Amino acid sequence: MSVNLRNFTQSVYVFDAVVRRVAPQDWDNQSPCEGWSARDVLRHHCGVLTAMTATLNSGETVPPESVDAAPDPVALWNSTRNAALEALDQPGILEREGKFWFGPMTVDEWIRIVQWDPMTHAWDIGKATGVEAHIPDDLAANSHELIAPMRETLSKWGLVADEVQTADDAPASERFLGLTGRDPS
């Protein structure tokens, strides 16, 4: 298993840990993402992983789109997570090259870039529902390092909000969240 696959998988399980603890009545709570409930954030993230899975399975780049509905958010998440991890478990998949969302690269490079997304949305759902998202500082530091140089592009694409300033000595998880436009305070 590559370091990138380990980090991506860990990030997926950060999201998983939050989803599993959300009370059923809290899925329609407003998230920090303007106009999106916790359920909407889950639909979005499932759409991202569904597109990733389709791309991995077909070899053709599939753009992400939110899933239409999530009457049972946990069931939707379970099937989405399992399909994505199964697609990443194919022999030789990490070395496969293609033109993915961020340009030509290997799958291993692609998942290195998108590892930040599950953690970010875990925090969004957690904030909406009162569930703490335990974002590991080492993974947050790695994600911060990866996306900091891409921040302007990610902002133009609407993938991150305006940066929230954090203290230089803040934990890596808070600095990472601030970089993605989340207020960790």
Q: What's the pLDDT tens digit per position in 53-98?
A: 999 999 888 889 989 999 999 999 999 999 999 999 999 999 999 8
Which residues make beta-bridge pairs with 105? 98
Residue 44 pLDDT: 95
Please indicate, yes or no, if residue 73 is contained in any of the structural domains: yes
| b/e sequence 35-74, b meaning 16+ C-beta within 10 Å | ebbbbbbbbbbbbbbbbbbbbbeeeeebebebbeebeebe
For residue 102, name the pLDDT band (cuts at 50, 70, 90). confident
**Count: domains in the chain:** 1
Q: Is residue 68 part of a domain?
A: yes
pLDDT of residue 11 exceeding 90, the answer is yes
Q: Is residue 107 part of a domain?
A: yes
Residue 57 lies in a domain: yes
The pLDDT value recorded for residue 28 is: 97
pLDDT at residue 39 is higher than 80: yes
Q: Return the pLDDT at 21.
A: 98
**Residue ranges making up the domain that contains 95:** 3-134
pTM: 0.92
Check the CA dihedral 71-101-10-2 and report its sign.
Answer: positive
- Kindly state whether residue 147 falls inside one of the protein's structural domains: no
Asked if residue 129 is part of any domain, the answer here is yes
Task: Report pLDDT for 176.
Answer: 86
Residue 159 has pLDDT above 80, yes or no: no
Cα–Cα dist 140/164, whole Å: 15
CATH number of the domain that 14 lies in?
A: 1.20.120.450
Q: Using pLDDT thresholds of 50, 70 and 90, give the confidence band for residue 119.
A: very high
63 near 50, Cβ under 8 Å? Answer: no
| DSSP code string of 34-102 | TT-BHHHHHHHHHHHHHHHHHHHHHSS-------S--SSHHHHHHHHHHHHHHHHTSTTGGG-EEEETT
pLDDT at 157 over 80: no
